[in-house]
Amino acid sequence: MDFTLNEEQTAFKAVLRDFVEKEIKPVANEWERSGRYPTEIVAGLADMGLFGMTIPEAYGGLDIDMVSFALVFEELARGWMGVAGILGSHSLSCWMIAKHGTEEQKQKYLPELATGKRRTGIGLTEPGAGTDLQGIRTTAKREGDEYVINGTKMWITNARYANPLPVLVKTDPDASPAHKGMSVILVEAGTPGFTVSRDIGKLGYKGPESCEVVLDNVRVPVENLLGGVEGRGMQQVLSGLESGRINIAARSVGIAQAAYEAALEYSKNRHAFGQPISEFQAIQLKIATIATQTQAARLITYWAASKADAGERVDMESGMAKYFASEVAIEASLEAMRIHGGYGYSTEYVVERLYRDAPLMSIGEGTNDIMRTIISKSLVSGKTSIG
């Protein structure tokens, strides 16, 4: 058992870290707080080919291994989690199109998605349904060679840049069970009736947009049905979420690492009662806890990623990594804030941003309660075991 990165992964990590130090960290606090879109950083990510991480080489992508995929999200989130978010749903949908799309869909979209010329996101959640995706109300009714889509999607990351946006719909609203009547349709930006109606105000994760999207009699050619067969939408989405959860776990590790680094540095420089606060045992305990939990979160994430690289289904493993690492990120950011005393509450320091960004990791790509039910079901059914 070897928990070290190989030579290629180590070199890749160094390139990413260099990019984050030079291009992201100097602007992250200001741009995130003002909600400024990180256009220049996105261009840099495109130059590195990162929009093609989950796209096969045959279509111009990098098709990187899942451990390297995790490294990208970890390193970016160490600088600014929101920037990693821009790549998150893009990568998930690229993976879905590459895995489930028809050859025509792959030829049409993947080469430009790989360069970042086109970007994408994923439209699942609705005002009345998130966890319960079978409860969505968006419908796509076939009329001749077109689908007519009606519904509203909520919280859609990248909505203003996605082209196409894969949208989960009901092609047969009466199907029982409901998932058998669900499909994914690729909706192109600019299609009449497709409107990004508003940006949703939020605690953190500023910079990238989170939007409400209205689909009002949107007519889409039947060729845009992902995979060309109705009724496979839920299965296509769920398979994408498996890798999506590794991305969230890795982003959580990045947040926790940033919290650790900030706390360590501050504790060595801040003096109280004639000595650095790092000399107080109470502070040492906090630093040790943050460091230990961060390292454990990192290892469980790499473990889930390497299992995925071995070609195994990793619902339980990615669920465990996402659940554990996101809770670590939340705790680490709070403890780092405590170590900073009053300055931890100030917008002049990074921990305030980490504290606002961390909770999203326990919600996105399935809440942590749902992660625990997935883990439990897998264990109880005997599909997986531990120990």
Ligand X SMILES: Cc1cc2nc3c(=O)[nH]c(=O)nc-3n(C[C@H](O)[C@H](O)[C@H](O)COP(=O)(O)OP(=O)(O)OC[C@H]3O[C@@H](n4cnc5c(N)ncnc54)[C@H](O)[C@@H]3O)c2cc1C
Residues that bind ligand X (CB under 6 A): 89, 121-125, 130-132, 155-157, 202, 205, 210, 360, 363-364, 366-367, 369-370, 373
Least Cβ distance, residue 323 to ligand X (angstroms): 11
Residue 146 per-residue DSSP state: E
Least Cβ distance, residue 206 to ligand X (angstroms): 10
Taking the alpha carbons of 75, 77, 80, 85 in that order, is the dihedral positive or negative? positive
The residue whose Cβ lies closest to ligand X is: 130
Which pair of tokens denotes residue 7?
A: 């030579």
| Closer by beta carbon to ligand X, 131 or else 269 | 131
Least Cβ distance, residue 96 to ligand X (angstroms): 12
Least Cβ distance, residue 343 to ligand X (angstroms): 27
Least Cβ distance, residue 195 to ligand X (angstroms): 16
Helices (H) and strands (E) in the chain, counts: 11, 8
Which pair of tokens denotes residue 359?
A: 């909770």
Q: Which residue has the tokens 């279509």?
A: 59
| Closer by beta carbon to ligand X, 289 or else 367 | 367
Catalytic, 365? Answer yes
Q: In terms of Cα–Cα distance, which of 93, 184, 198, 194 is closest to 151?
A: 194
| Closer by beta carbon to ligand X, 283 or else 325 | 325
Report phi then psi at 123, rounded to 5. -110, 90
How far apart CA 241 and CA 308 sit, in angstroms, is: 13
| Closer by beta carbon to ligand X, 91 or else 278 | 91
Are 42 and 97 within 8 A, CB to CB?
no
Least Cβ distance, residue 107 to ligand X (angstroms): 25
- The Cα diameter of the chain in Å comes to 80
Give SS3 for 175: coil
Least Cβ distance, residue 367 to ligand X (angstroms): 3
Nearest 5 degrees, angle CA 34-CA 19-CA 88?
A: 65
| Closer by beta carbon to ligand X, 186 or else 277 | 186
How far apart CA 246 and CA 43 sit, in angstroms, is: 24
How far apart CA 92 and CA 95 sit, in angstroms, is: 5
| Closer by beta carbon to ligand X, 205 or else 323 | 205
CA atoms within 13 A on the CB side of 214: 7
Is residue 96 classed exposed, middle or buried when 0-12, 13-18 and 19+ CB atoms within 10 A define those classes?
A: buried
Residue 216 per-residue DSSP state: E
Are 72 and 16 within 8 A, CB to CB?
yes
Radius of gyration from C-alpha coordinates of the chain: 21
First to last CA, the chain: 15
Bond preceding residue 164 cis, omega within 30 of 0: yes
| Closer by beta carbon to ligand X, 56 or else 130 | 130
Point out the residues that are catalytic.
Answer: 365
